[in-house]
């Protein structure tokens, strides 16, 4: 099948008709389905019986491996005790406990945590908090949000508005929030291709924020939202000094800084949060994914106490923030979260991720010089390789490498012509090295 084949709906089997799959080439997939049957530890078993290594920890979300016995036990116990509890005007202790644990892990024990069910909801929640915070303080003109090109902040209307991935935005312009501007992204292959870890070049790109502030005036800007490391667009690593500059400019102008840590939160860089890795603290942090090893959907926003306090005005019997989801702090998600943090601590898994990072770095950079490879990027336990696109068929090269890697027992992630990996923290060094060799063989079998 070549890239231009138009698959007729009749080619799709009835069994695969009804599910309109997310971020998937539906026709291509349904013509040649790739089905997962089960998972255990760092491996998936496919429908055809093959066992493959989970190179991206699910979708960046299962660093402890699948069906960790401690998490399975905690969720099983929870479903038998309290399967659901309303969290509008009622509470359950475990949710308060998990919020406390998250503030402790972040080293910000005074902070507050608002729970949601996904990264997209976390982002929309943080944007609403930022705008409402300024309004609560009598600074109602601060409504503008600054995102960044190539940023991924989920698929809510707020998230795509501040996001910078063009195909995620172009169909929806009339619905997107107004008053958004974007920083330039920091990727410049001429300056930084094959950088090991953080590129030396590019901190000056943060100065673009001063230009944007001068254009719109600080008095109209509520917040800046960036991923500390841009994961979804293919592991774009911030230049040295860049995030600190953003922090300083935000502080100078009274603008809130939001770190979207949906991927970097809970250990991916070998530190609890990306903020710890880069030594830069935001005002709000969005998280999801690894917070509970993705066992049950869960996300949230970690908020500076002063922001929470700004809402705590008016009569105490009134709702302070008109926002929340039916499943905010769902008991099963919370139980999985507490168990996940227990396992991370008991098995020292964040330190384990830090210890594996150099193995991944060395292995992935050894792919320089292999066919198709035009860049290798890495930070913490995450890496990507950029492939030279096939002429006239962008994206096809990565599909072919993905398929070849799967045949080698390695389930990588592809997006555009980029292959991304972020192995589970429970991986051994040998498994990470084997993953790299599987990718190498895959690169060599795909025709140039």
Q: Which one of ligand PLP, ligand PXG, none interacts with residue 386, CB within 5 to 8 A by kind?
A: none
232 binds, among ligand PLP, ligand PXG, none (CB under 5 to 8 A by kind): ligand PXG
Cβ proximity of 426 and 64 under 8 Å: yes
| Nearest CA-CA partner of 233 in 199, 269, 186 | 186
Per-residue tokens: 410 = 């390695």
Separation in Å, CA 74 to CA 85, 104, 281, 355, 397: 17, 21, 32, 28, 42
Task: Identify what 325 binds: ligand PLP, ligand PXG, none; CB under 5 to 8 Å per kind.
Answer: ligand PLP
Cβ-based nearer residue to ligand PXG, 136 or 275: 275
Q: How far apart are CA 380 and CA 269, in angstroms?
A: 4
Q: How far is the CB of 137 from ligand PXG (least distance, A)?
A: 27
- Contact region with ligand PLP (CB under 6 A), list: 159-167, 306-314, 320-328, 430-438: 320-328
**CB neighbours of 102 closer than 8 A, spacing ≥ 6?**
113, 287, 291, 300, 302, 337, 341
Nearer to ligand PLP by Cβ, of 88 and 172: the residue is 88
Nearer to ligand PXG, 59 or 218 (CB): 59
* 201 touches ligand PLP by CB under 6 A: no
Q: Which of 57, 429, 60, 59 is nearest to 264 (CA)?
A: 60
In the complex, minimum distance from the CB of residue 328 to ligand PLP, in angstroms, rounded to a whole number? 8
Closer Cβ to ligand PLP, 327 or 414, answer by number: 327
DSSP 159-215: HHHH---HHHHTT-GGGSPSSEEEEPP---HHHHTT-SSS-SS-GGGGGHHHHHHHH
Q: In angstroms, how far is the first alpha carbon of the chain from the final one? A: 17
Of 53 and 327, the one with the shorter C-beta distance to ligand PLP is 327
- C-alpha distances in Å from residue 193, one per residue of 144, 196, 238, 418, 440: 33, 9, 13, 14, 19
Q: How far is CA 262 from the centre of its chain?
A: 4
Q: How far is the CB of 123 from ligand PLP (least distance, A)?
A: 14
By a kind-dependent CB cut-off of 5 to 8 A, residue 423 interacts, out of ligand PXG, ligand PLP, none, with none
| Least distance between ligand PLP and beta carbon 127 (Å) | 16
Cβ atoms 158, 144 nearer than 8 A:
no
- Least separation in angstroms between CB 166 and ligand PXG: 16
Contact partner, 123, from ligand PLP, ligand PXG, none, Cβ < 5-8 Å per class: ligand PXG
Fill in the per-residue mask, 266 to 305: x = in contact with ligand PLP (CB under 6 A), - = not in contact: ----------------------------------------
Does 11 contact ligand PLP by CB under 6 A? no
Closer to ligand PLP by Cβ: residue 142 or 330: 330
In angstroms, what CA-CA distances link 398 with 372, 376, 401?
10, 14, 5
For binding to ligand PXG (CB under 6 A), which residues are involved?
59-60, 118-120, 123, 152-154, 227, 231-232, 260, 262-263, 288, 413, 415
Pick the closer one to ligand PLP by CB: 118 or 271: 118
Q: How far apart are CA 139 and CA 96, in angstroms?
A: 31
Could you give the CA distance from residue 404 to residue 410 in angstroms, rounded to a whole number? 9
- 326 counts as binding ligand PLP under rule CB under 6 A: yes
Helix/strand/coil percentages in the chain, nearest 5: 40, 15, 40
Taking CB under 6 A as the criterion, the residue among 273, 327, 402, 414 binding ligand PLP is 327
- For ligand PLP, the binding residue among 7, 325, 370, 399 (CB under 6 A) is 325
Residue with tokens 């592991």: 235
Contact footprint for ligand PLP (CB under 6 A): 325-327
């Amino acid at each position: 099948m070549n890239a231009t084949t138009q698959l007729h709906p009749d080619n799709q089997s009835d069994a695969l008709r009804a599910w309109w799959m997310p971020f998937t080439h539906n026709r291509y997939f349904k013509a040649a389905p790739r089905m997962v049957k089960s998972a255990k530890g760092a491996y998936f078993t496919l429908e055809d019986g093959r066992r493959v290594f989970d190179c991206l920890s699910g979708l960046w979300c299962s660093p402890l491996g699948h069906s960790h016995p401690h998490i399975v036990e905690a969720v099983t116990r929870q479903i038998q005790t309290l399967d659901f509890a309303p969290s509008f005007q009622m509470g359950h202790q475990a949710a308060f406990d998990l919020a406390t644990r998250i503030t402790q892990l972040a080293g910000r024990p005074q902070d507050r945590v608002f729970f949601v069910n996904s990264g997209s909801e976390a982002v929309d929640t943080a944007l609403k908090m930022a705008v409402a915070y300024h309004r609560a303080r009598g600074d109602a003109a601060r409504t503008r949000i600054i995102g960044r090109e190539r940023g991924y902040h989920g698929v809510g209307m707020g998230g795509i508005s501040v996001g910078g991935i063009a195909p995620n935005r172009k169909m929806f312009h009339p619905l997107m929030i107004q008053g958004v501007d974007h920083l330039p992204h920091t990727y410049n292959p001429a300056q930084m291709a094959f950088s090991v870890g953080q590129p030396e070049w590019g901190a000056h790109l943060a100065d673009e924020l001063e230009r944007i502030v001068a254009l719109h005036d600080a008095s109209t800007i509520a917040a800046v939202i960036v991923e500390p490391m841009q994961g979804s667009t293919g592991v774009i690593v911030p230049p040295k000094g860049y995030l600190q500059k953003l922090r300083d400019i935000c502080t100078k102008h009274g603008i809130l800084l939001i770190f979207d840590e949906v991927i970097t939160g809970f250990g991916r860089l070998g530190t609890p949060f990306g903020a710890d890795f880069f030594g830069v603290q935001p005002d709000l942090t969005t998280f999801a994914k690894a917070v509970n090893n993705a066992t049950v959907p869960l996300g949230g926003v970690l908020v500076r106490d002063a922001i929470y306090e700004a809402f705590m005005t008016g009569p105490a019997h009134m709702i302070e923030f008109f926002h929340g989801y039916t499943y905010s702090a769902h008991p099963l998600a919370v139980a999985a979260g507490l168990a996940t943090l227990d396992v991370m601590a008991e098995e020292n898994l964040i330190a384990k991720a830090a210890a594996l990072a150099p193995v991944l770095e060395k292995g992935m950079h050894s792919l320089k010089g292999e066919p198709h490879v035009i860049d290798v990027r890495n930070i913490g336990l995450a890496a990507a390789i950029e492939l030279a696109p096939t002429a006239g068929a962008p994206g096809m090269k990565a599909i072919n490498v993905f398929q070849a890697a799967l045949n080698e027992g390695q389930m990588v992630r592809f997006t555009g012509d980029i292959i991304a990996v972020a192995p589970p923290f429970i991986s051994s060094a040998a498994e990470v090295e084997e993953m790299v060799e599987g990718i190498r063989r895959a690169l060599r079998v795909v025709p140039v």
